[in-house]
């Protein structure tokens, strides 16, 4: 077995461990494949099986990027893992939803796809004809927050509504600060 093949087998062992650490239910590879990819499940399952077993070493950049998203790794880290032998987990983004959520998964896959192409997400969206440049503007007003509207619609005393809104806004500010620190690597984890 060549050094490269051994490195890919070692990567596979690390990925199996990572999969189970992320979610104990994912000890079942089929469950993991079903919950981490929205495309053809059979082909995704074969890719996961192949990379975890170290069966081959010739994956496209797009496939590796999708694998990195599924295992919640830093973009480009699979190749670095082959060289170094250590996985690079992506920081958790608590305020953005969980990685298994379909919208979150779609955005993560889009980011990984853009990273694999060496482009920005906005460029991919435009290049693929998914949006027009004039659609990508920040509005002057974001409109009402749906959570605050729901609180305001409750049939409870106004002082309780005010406390609930204050708690919601404080929690939201705290979550955004946590994400900012995680992105900078200052969260102490």
Give residue 186's pLDDT.
61
Give residue 14's pLDDT.
94
Give residue 128's pLDDT.
77
pLDDT higher than 90, residue 27: yes
C-alpha distances out from residue 14 to 34, 50, 84, 166, 180, Å? 20, 14, 12, 44, 28
Give residue 181's pLDDT.
74
> 68-100 burial string, b = 16+ CB within 10 Å, else e?
bbbbbbebbbbeebeeeeebeebbebeeeeebe
Helices within the chain (DSSP H only)? 3-22, 29-36, 41-53, 61-70, 77-84, 102-117, 121-127, 146-152, 158-184
Whole-structure pTM value:
0.51
Q: Where are the domains of the chain?
A: 3-134, 140-184
Give residue 38's pLDDT.
61
* Highest mean pLDDT out of 14-18, 119-123, 149-153: 14-18
Give residue 1's pLDDT.
62
Give residue 94's pLDDT.
38
Residues 6 or more apart whose Cβ sits within 8 Å of residue 20: 26, 27
Q: pLDDT (tens digit, 9 = 90+) per residue, 64-118? A: 888 888 898 888 889 999 988 889 887 654 334 455 566 777 777 888 888 877 8
Helices 29-36 + 41-53 axis angle, to 10: 120
Q: pLDDT (tens digit, 9 = 90+) per residue, 157-172? A: 888 888 888 888 888 8
**Helix (H, G, I), strand (E, B), or coil: what is residue 65?**
helix
Length of the chain: 189
Q: What is the CA radius of gyration of the chain?
A: 20
Give residue 13's pLDDT.
94
Give residue 16's pLDDT.
95
**Helix (H, G, I), strand (E, B), or coil: what is residue 168?**
helix
| Percent share of the chain, pLDDT over 70 | 84
C-alpha distances out from residue 90 to 56, 63, 83, 185, Å? 24, 17, 18, 10
What's the CA gap between 30 and 103, in Å, rounded?
A: 21
Better pLDDT: 69 or 47? 47
Give residue 180's pLDDT.
75
How many angstroms from the chain centroid is the CA of residue 159?
39
């Amino acid at each position: 077995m060549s050094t490269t093949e051994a490195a890919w087998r070692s990567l596979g062992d690390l990925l199996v461990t990572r999969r189970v650490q992320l979610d104990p239910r994912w000890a079942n590879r089929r469950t993991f494949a079903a919950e981490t990819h929205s495309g053809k499940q059979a082909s995704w399952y074969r890719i996961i099986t192949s990379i975890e077993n170290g069966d081959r070493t010739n994956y496209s950049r797009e496939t590796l990027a999708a694998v990195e998203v599924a295992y919640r790794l830093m973009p480009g880290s699979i190749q670095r893992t082959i060289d170094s032998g250590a996985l690079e987990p992506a920081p958790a983004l608590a305020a953005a939803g969980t990685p298994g959520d379909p919208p979150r998964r779609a955005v993560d896959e889009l980011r990984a796809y853009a990273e694999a192409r060496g482009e920005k997400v906005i460029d991919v969206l435009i290049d693929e004809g998914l949006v027009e440049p004039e659609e990508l503007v920040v509005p002057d007003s974001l409109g009402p927050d749906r959570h605050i509207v729901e609180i305001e619609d409750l049939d409870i005393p106004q002082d309780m509504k005010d406390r609930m809104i204050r708690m919601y806004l404080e929690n939201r500010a705290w979550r955004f600060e946590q994400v900012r620190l995680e992105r900078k690597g200052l969260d102490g984890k």
